[in-house]
């Protein structure tokens, strides 16, 4: 991308944010990809959480196309609590709620006596690996704001895909990019990465996304092992297993509306 923006969002005061070109959807230059809004709502919910708690699950509902215009975010508690807490956030554009999110925080505690199953992702490809994008979409904002290094498949291959991702920009200008934001920025890409039908001929729309996290990633890289399954009646389900170089992070699930264009 020419002239990389400072961040995905620029603070505009009074809980408002200006989305930059880094949020740009591959299918509509005037709309946002779902990843940055999901990360922004998660980040702002997380800022209200009590010390000693960690975000364990977030469900994000996309109520329609998300215009790439100034947004305002409202955060409110749903179920306060010392051990578990449920919070809600709303992204409002032009007076309309465009995205909602609900997140559970769970209190941390002593380390259990067993760590559970170990899972290791493929090795990170070398820095010389060619950077590819969807055919015909070489300069779309969100795609350029993330580094993609495939370990299985690529943008031109249909079906399961494995890819290392590295977010190149802060979520909010002037703020450090957190591991939570780094994960949520890419989580909504699972269905596009593992599409089983040609995207130029078929719609594959996730109206909602749920991400469940064991922990936040260590370092800059998040690995996604993505698959899409299709039902006979026009629905689908995209799923991704998340890892960092140290091991397992969590899961992403997206139900899909699948229709021929």
pLDDT per residue as tens digits for the range 36-70: 999 999 999 999 999 999 999 999 999 999 999 99
Q: Which of 160, 213, 161, 159 is nearest to 184 (CA)?
A: 213
Looking at the predicted structure, is the pLDDT value of residue 1 above 80? no
Of residues 260 and 124, which shows the higher confidence score? 260
Domain assignment present for residue 122? The answer is no
Give the CATH number of the domain where residue 99 resides.
2.40.160.210
**pLDDT score, position 248:** 95
Whole-number percent of the chain with pLDDT over 70? 94
**pLDDT score, position 156:** 80
208 pLDDT band, cuts 50/70/90, is very high
Look at the chain and report how many structural domains it folds into: 1
User: What is the number of alpha carbons within 13 Å of residue 8 lying toward its C-beta?
Assistant: 34
Cα distance between residue 61 and residue 91, in whole Å: 10
Averaged confidence pLDDT in the chain:
92
Domain assignment present for residue 103? The answer is yes
Domain assignment present for residue 248? The answer is yes
Whole-model pTM: value is 0.94
Q: Can you give the residue range of the structural domain that contains 144?
A: 9-108+131-260
Cα distance between residue 161 and residue 199, in whole Å: 15
Tokens representing residue 192 in the block: 């596009």
Collapsed DSSP state (helix, strand, coil) of residue 38: helix
Give 152-164 pLDDT, tens digit per residue.
988 788 999 999 9
Whole-number percent of the chain with pLDDT over 90? 80
Give 75-96 pLDDT, tens digit per residue.
999 999 999 999 999 999 999 9
């Amino acid at each position: 991308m020419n002239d990389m923006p400072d961040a995905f969002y620029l603070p505009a005061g009074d809980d408002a944010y200006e989305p930059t070109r880094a949020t740009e959807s591959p299918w509509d230059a005037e709309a946002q990809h779902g990843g940055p809004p999901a990360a922004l709502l998660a980040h702002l919910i997380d800022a209200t959480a009590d010390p000693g708690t960690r975000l364990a699950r977030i469900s994000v509902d996309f109520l329609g196309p998300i215009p790439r215009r100034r947004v305002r975010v409202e955060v409110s508690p749903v179920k306060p609590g010392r051990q578990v807490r449920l919070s809600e956030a709303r992204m409002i554009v032009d007076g309309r709620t465009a995205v909602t999110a609900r997140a559970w925080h769970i209190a941390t505690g002593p380390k259990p006596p067993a760590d559970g199953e170990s899972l290791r992702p493929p090795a990170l490809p070398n820095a010389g690996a060619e950077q590819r994008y969807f055919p015909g979409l070489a300069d779309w904002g969100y795609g350029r704001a993330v580094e993609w290094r495939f370990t299985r498949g690529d943008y031109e291959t249909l079906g399961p895909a494995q890819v290392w991702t590295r977010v190149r920009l802060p979520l909010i200008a002037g703020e450090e990019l957190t591991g939570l934001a780094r994960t949520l920025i890419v989580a909504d890409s699972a269905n596009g990465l593992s599409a089983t039908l040609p995207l130029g001929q078929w719609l594959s729309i996730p109206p909602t996304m749920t991400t469940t996290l064991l922990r936040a990633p260590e370092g800059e890289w998040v690995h996604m092992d993505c698959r899409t399954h299709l039902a006979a009646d026009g629905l689908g389900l995209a799923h991704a297993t998340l890892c960092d170089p140290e091991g397992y992070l969590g899961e992403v699930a997206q139900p899909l509306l699948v229709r021929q264009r």
